[in-house]
Amino acid sequence: MTTTRTLPQAFRRLRRSEGLRALVRETRLSPADFVYPLFVAHGQGLRREIESMPGQYQLSVDQLAAEAEELRSLGIPAMLLFGLPAAKDEAGSEAYDPDGIVQRAVRALKRAAPDLVVITDVCLCEYTSHGHCGVVVDGPDGQAEVDNDRTLPLLARIVLSHAEAGADIVAPSDMMDGRVAAIRTALDEADFGHTPIMAYAAKQASAFYGPFRVAAESAPQFGDRRGYQMDAANAREAMREIEADIEEGADIVMVKPALPNLDIIARARQRFELPLAAYNVSGEYAMVKAAALAGHLDERSAALEVLTAIKRAGADIVITYHAKDAARWLRE
């Protein structure tokens, strides 16, 4: 007669050495998972460190070839571009200017590094004088608000200008209703049926975008974004947002911010079969960085722990300011 020993279970047996731990590791982080966000500004030889995000820079277009080469050497396949316009106006017109900052950056990058996947963030907030993600009008109650349907044609215009410049993927982050359908139609009608859309699908109104708004100079000049971005309390609504973007033609869906939304990432992973991206946003980067600079935690292990958790929750693609550091740490 055989006896089977069930208790106590021995978990520690496989934790005794790094070799054993590596053998049974369930989630493996790789530089191939990362997308690196970048802020592009007008000028020459510009490399201005962003105060709210130590280690991140606003770069001029001439700096991008070197940046692309660095990403290639680190095995990071993609970059997400944000632009700082020369001037802001009510309509955010530089956002769709064929010679705007992002359009120039895309052309330079595709020339210098054709294999790098260039993703462009599609939004108006960096370009409008009021800092909102759409067209501001007087609402029914006399309060200024962002008009959904008047914003859609502008988003379509931005997207076409990015596609014409050579963007590999366009990523609308504005959170207007119906924008994926509007953008898909515009792309298809202009012979850009091959250009994929990565939709910021479940994007919450989050305090964690604070450092980004310093970096991109895009803080709203009045009010906030709660009239269009999601309420962080709502998980079922997040599923409906993702579902709607998929029905409208999204090719990749995104959850943002990542760390406060690991449950949403896990639910989306179970429910949808599309590639799933998660954005480890500026505030998540800044809080690890600030604590590390103050000597309160070890940046390397904290950042890798966060990124691993985001992947473990179910993200296929992790957009992170820690991409270059993490790629180096993973190689060591």
Question: Could you tell me the smallest distance in angstroms from the CB atom of residue 300 to ligand PBG?
Answer: 20
Applying CB under 6 A, among 173, 195, 204, 320 the residue interacting with ligand PBG is 173
Whole-number Å distance between alpha carbons of 27 and 313: 10
Please compute, for residue 185, the number of CA atoms within 13 A of its CA located in the half-sphere on the CB side.
11
Report yes or no: 75 and 65 within 8 Å, Cβ to Cβ: no
165 binds ligand PBG (CB under 6 A): no
In the numeric block, which tokens belong to residue 203?
């994007």
DSSP helix, strand, coil percent of the chain (3-state; round to 5): 45, 20, 35
Applying CB under 6 A, among 281, 306, 313, 317 the residue interacting with ligand PBG is 281
125 binds ligand PBG (CB under 6 A): yes
Of 203, 289, 311, 324, which is the active-site residue?
203
Strand boundaries in the chain, DSSP class E: 34-41, 47-49, 57-60, 78-84, 117-122, 135-138, 144-147, 169-172, 198-203, 252-256, 276-280, 317-320
In the numeric block, which tokens belong to residue 1?
């007669």
Q: Which H helix or E strand runs over 20?
A: helix 18-23
Q: Which stretch binds ligand PBG (CB under 6 A): 4-12, 66-74, 99-107, 206-214?
A: 206-214
317 binds ligand PBG (CB under 6 A): no
**Catalytic residue check, 256:** yes
Q: Give which of 72, 71, 70, 68 is closest to 110, Cα–Cα.
A: 68
Count the site residues for ligand PBG by CB under 6 A.
11
Applying CB under 6 A, among 36, 209, 228, 272 the residue interacting with ligand PBG is 209
Whole-number Å distance between alpha carbons of 196 and 167: 10
Of 256, 289, 311, 324, which is the active-site residue?
256
Report yes or no: 168 and 119 within 8 Å, Cβ to Cβ: yes
Q: CB-wise, 38 or 133, nearer to ligand PBG?
A: 133
Q: What are phi and psi of 298, to 5 degrees?
A: -90, 115
What residues from 222 to 251 belong to the interface with ligand PBG (CB under 6 A)? Answer: 225
Question: Could you tell me the smallest distance in angstroms from the CB atom of residue 71 to ligand PBG?
Answer: 18
Question: Could you tell me the smallest distance in angstroms from the CB atom of residue 20 to ligand PBG?
Answer: 37
Question: Could you tell me the smallest distance in angstroms from the CB atom of residue 173 to ligand PBG?
Answer: 4
123 binds ligand PBG (CB under 6 A): yes
Applying CB under 6 A, among 97, 121, 145, 168 the residue interacting with ligand PBG is 121
- Please give the residue ranges that form the binding site for ligand PBG (CB under 6 A): 121, 123, 125, 133, 173, 209, 212-213, 225, 281-282
- Name the residues annotated as catalytic: 203, 256
